[in-house]
Amino acid sequence: MQSDILRYYRVNKTFMSQIGIWPYQSKTMRILIPILLAIIDISYVTAEMIRMFDTWGNIDIAVECILSTIIVIACFTKLFNLSFRTNEMRYLFSLIDYHWQIFNNPTDVEILQNYVIFCRKVVIFYATYVYVSTSLYLLMPISPQILDIVMPLNESRPRKFLFEVEYHIDREKYYYFILFHSYVAVVAVMSIVVCADTTYIAYVQHGCSLFAAVGYRLEHIIIVSKEHHHLSRMSYRTKNEEKTCLDMEIEDIYFKQQTVFRELVICLRKHQLAIQYARLLESSFMLSTGIQLSCNMIALSLIGIQVISNLDNTEDFIRYISLCAGAFFHLLCMSLPGQRLMDHSINIFDKTCRSHWYAFSLKSKRLLRILLYRSIVPCTLTASKIYVMSMANYSTVVQTAMSYFMTFSSLK
């Protein structure tokens, strides 16, 4: 990737390098870092499974251990999808570089820059939100120690753990070791979430910018053709000073029609590049998104059970409500990019209809018909070709989850 393009994705490069999935990173780092992350979180999940079997019959502990395991599975699905598809990720970045060379018109460049700058702001906001939320969540176990300093009692408050784990060692003696392991595991998981999601957002946002650039050119194709026609007209006049006014008028119409046709051909080719990019993007994340969506649905169900079960316990209730909000927010971040890509791809049809198509030649109208036919079906991002990532489906999931919560509440 060229350095002038890479500067727009410097934040993404930083996040991807942290977990070893930057496609241009050394092969050693791309192997060692994911393995290290896997060892950390597998060891933690193992400790949770030991705790669950040691306290078999305790529903709360079992649900919490299963919930943590599901979250880890979803995160490592993200990680392994990007790790095992290094060639595809590298190819996507090379396509982004290639598109910046093809979309070299000043207007196209400005649109691509606006979208990539907006994407960088979204990436920074998302990363800040995740890390701040994680930091607040990590403060919960040490809140008794903080209160002992701020508001001391006659006796020390009981120590709390981040999750239910068992190492078959003295839990009180090695409290800070267990807590440190928990913190490392959570930070590793959240780093994977930030990296994978921001990479996904950056890829999709670039696809949106391609459709936006093509749509703008189509809507203003008469203005663009007049600029090209003016240059052609001036060069023609210098060579043909002795032409009659009628000849010049005929030639003027010819130049205009040819310029419009050339612009339509360029728009058609760029639109095809955008469609091909969207299809490759969908195939690269399809399986991973399907597994993540399944994990998200199962996690929401378990969190709903815990929320209803802990209505009388304020601390646990707030904790699980926060997890529930995080699950909904994560699903939103998966659905919203898909909706944006869908809207931008189908907007090509609207932009084409808003152009001055009635002033085009018959040859140009036939070409325009091909463009309309290709843009009538929107490009979508799916989860295993079953679930379309869109806001309509997101709202359906939220409504279904709320109905489940109400059902659990009535049963209790």
In the beta sheet, which residues pair with residue 387? 383
**Which residues, 6+ apart, have CB-to-CB distance to 306 below 8 Å?**
60, 63, 64, 67, 316, 320
Determine what percent of the chain is predicted with pLDDT higher than 90: 18
Burial 315-332 (b: 16+ CB within 10 A, else e): ebbebbeebbebbbebbe
List Cβ neighbours of 83 (8 Å cut-off, separation of 6 or more).
20, 21, 30, 34
Question: 355-372 pLDDT, tens per residue?
Answer: 777 777 777 778 788 888
When divided into structural domains, the chain yields a total of: 1
pLDDT tens digits for range 19-30: 888 888 888 888
86-124 pLDDT, tens digit each:
888 889 989 999 999 898 888 999 999 999 999 999 999
- What amino acid is encoded at 103 in this protein? F
Domain that residue 342 falls in: 3-411
pLDDT at 255 over 80: no
Contact criterion met (CB below 8 Å) for 323 and 393: no
Q: What is the pLDDT of residue 238?
A: 45
pLDDT number for residue 149: 76
Give the global pTM: 0.85
* pLDDT(209) > 60: yes
- pLDDT, one tens digit per residue, over 158-183 is 778 777 788 888 888 888 888 888 88
Lowest mean pLDDT among 110-119, 224-233, 382-391: 224-233
Q: Is the pLDDT of residue 390 over 70?
A: yes
* Dist CA 176 CA 183 (whole Å): 10
Residue 309 has pLDDT above 80, yes or no: no
Strand partners of residue 383: 387
Mean pLDDT of 134-144: 82
pLDDT above 80 for 250: no
